[in-house]
Structure 1
């Protein structure tokens, strides 16, 4: 488990410098576009990343996140726009002269070199004195907990160990900015979860700004101070993880981050403190306790996360935010159970419940007739 320390990273995250008007961005991406012939992989993207952040660029295949990372690293040049790092315009500055290091998804370790030789490679090319190289290599290898494997070759290591060698090699040069392209993609689920905490611990100890590219929503939610969600070459939302999950900016973000139930409908009434949606999906009305910018009868979608929904054989008291149906499938996941419910409207939804008790006498089962319900504060109206 990660050890929480009083580091500059913790300070940056707890103070939320990105919310402070006087804060100066460490990385500034200004209206950057990248075209390959007639195809725009990145479209007029602007983004600020602050010192000591662990920022995640999250998106599916072809969303433009890796292209944006490669422009930061200097492997690609923007078609238009500016990239500024620590106050310096990166235009025309080659990758090896930027205050950056990059860790690739493949790790790209030298198979004929030992762990310590792999880590030392970049320092030796900078012609740093051997005594200093040995000290820094030993320090970083110990930090990634590989000191006992320093003499081994990459083929003698596990996937997680190779990942840590690649990370040590990237960190030993003490870059101002570390770029990580799908750094945990080659690891199995359990090892990936453990390594996420290792990344967070190392970043806390070193105080280096990290920008991580990933397609894994859980990885981004776990690691990041903030997330930039990309789709079709555009950043569609930048926010802290809980904000992206609980308050998605549009339907794409809601559906891409985690699981969500979407109820289609139209605006029935728009009051000062709530909105009433008429929805055929629930054969009734949905109340949402926040206002929206809309017109009467506008078509909208209401997003409700599966864990926010209650499921019971008993009819709820309220005549809003409820529906009736039948359990069509159940998946027992250990810590939680997933229920698929076919509503009377023939819309299937997902409900999750934590398994807090080891034994339930009258457990819900297949084909049970049930009611589902949720609170007015548990849903979000999406107009796009």
Structure 2
């Protein structure tokens, strides 16, 4: 059956792409475009030729250790540092020469930088008053933001009368009240304790989704980046070494650095003995056998590679499983009960230590393990990934 109605190809494409993230759409324009940005301090290169596209309404995390260049990159986006070379475009506008206060950007600092002598409401209103907004507009927007961060009843308090989590939300409200197109957050939850940090992460996600503001977050905390972000850019020595969604960064790291930096991982060094399009076999002296991975790689014959295997992918048992590959034997040296999971450190005959984690689904453990037990470790062929760098 055909229709005489003309097809609206533009709307059809938009509908088809509605559930596809912008960074996966070929025709999507990035909201923040970083082109070949380099920043040098004398002979030291803090940021080294980075190019990155971030899209509207993303909550993008720059993740890295101390000295990786993530905060320097954030400061260049804010205008507090000038690039040595390269350029930054926000919503299609080149930021070269644009002063920080003239950019459609606001920044939330780790220290929160609240004015101790001002009330909560006056802290949030400060930027609007400096811009000359009317009293009615200031009052309205401050009230809206305080309600959004659930502090509407604390507007008259001073910062010293608030908890750490409340001060964090005041700083967030102050950063958002001017309605920036882009909000930069430098270690925003670093000053909070673990439980409060976990609770605040979800509050931050909800606020970002409600406002639709693009967030770029700098953090060194892997769990925080995994929880918050739509995508993660992992930084090392001034370079972004991998950009992906959290699941892909964790499950498919592109290097040993990323595999070790994100979560816990076991790495087995070995030599490629069979490389097919659909699978690869690695002879590993460390593992004490042949490792089979059901994906191909691009490498030289007999190249030395590493097989990355997450601890939770490994099965542990007293009896040998019915498989000849991806099965190794060792002795339990350490056991740690962590509540939701148990951690085992198993020593192989090669001396290699393997970390295994098991979830504690019930109060009563099934198969019991103790120190010095001889055990078998096994895993599925799709549980590991081969790393060539």
Fold-level similarity (TM above 0.5): yes
Rounded Cα–Cα distance in structure 2 between residues aligned with 1:290 and 1:203: 37
The separation in 2 between residues aligned to 1:257 and 1:59, in whole angstroms, is: 10
Change (3 A) 1:355 1:123: same
1:174 paired to 2:194: no
What is the CA distance between 1:155 and its match in structure 2? 0.5
Secondary structure in 2 matching 1:237:
strand
Matched, 1:200 2:216: no
Residue 152 (str. 1) matches residue 157 (str. 2) = yes
1:375 to 367, 375, 380: 380
Q: What aligned pairs does 1:207-218 form with structure 2 within 5 A after superposition? A: 207-218=212-223
CA deviation vs aligned residue, 1:218-265 (integer Å, no higher than 9, x gap): 000000000000000000000100000000011100000000000010
Q: Where do residues 252-267 of structure 1 align in structure 2 (5 Å cutoff)?
A: 252-267=257-272
Q: CA deviation at 1:12?
A: 9.5
Say whether 1:130 aligns with 2:135. yes
Question: Does the 8 A contact of 1:13 with 1:53 survive in 2?
Answer: no
CA contact (8 A) 1:12 1:53 kept: no
Match of 2:24 in 1: 19
Runs of 4+ with >2 A deviation: 11-15
Shift of 1:127: 0.4
- Contact in 2 for aligned 1:124/1:133 (Cα 8 Å): yes
In structure 2, what is the equivalent of residue 184 of structure 1? 189
Q: How does 1:175-324 map to 2 (within 5 A)?
A: 175-324=180-329
Measure the CA separation in 1 of the matches of 2:187 and 2:161.
Answer: 23
Compared CA separation, residues 13 and 147, structure 1 to 2 (3 A): farther
Secondary structure class of the residue paired with 2:223: helix
Change beyond 3 A, Cα 1:234–1:118: same
TM-score by length of 2: 0.95
Query: In the TM superposition, what whole-angstrom CA distance separates every residue of 1:113-158 from its partner, at most 9, and x where no partner exists?
Result: 1100100000000000000100000010010001111111011111
Aligned match of 1:112 in 99, 117, 141? 117
Counterpart of 2:38 in structure 1 is 33
- Say if 2:168 is the partner of 1:163: yes
Q: Give the superposition deviation at 1:15.
A: 2.2
In 1: Cα distance, 2:365 partner to 2:253 partner: 35
Ranges in structure 2 where 5+ consecutive residues have no aligned partner: 1-15
CA deviation after TM superposition for structure 1 residue 295, in Å: 1.3
Task: Find the residue that maps to 1:219 and give its secondary structure.
Answer: helix
Match of residue 336 from structure 1: 341
Q: CA–CA distance in 2 between the matches of 1:340 and 1:65?
A: 34
CA distance in 2, matches of 1:104, 1:44: 25
Secondary structure at the aligned position of 2:258 is classed as: helix
Note the aligned Cα RMSD (angstroms). 1.2
Moved more, 250-259 or 264-273: 264-273
The SS at the match of 1:376 is coil
Structure 1: unaligned runs, 5 residues or longer: 1-10
Distance 2:138 2:201 in 1: 27
Give aligned pairs, total: 374
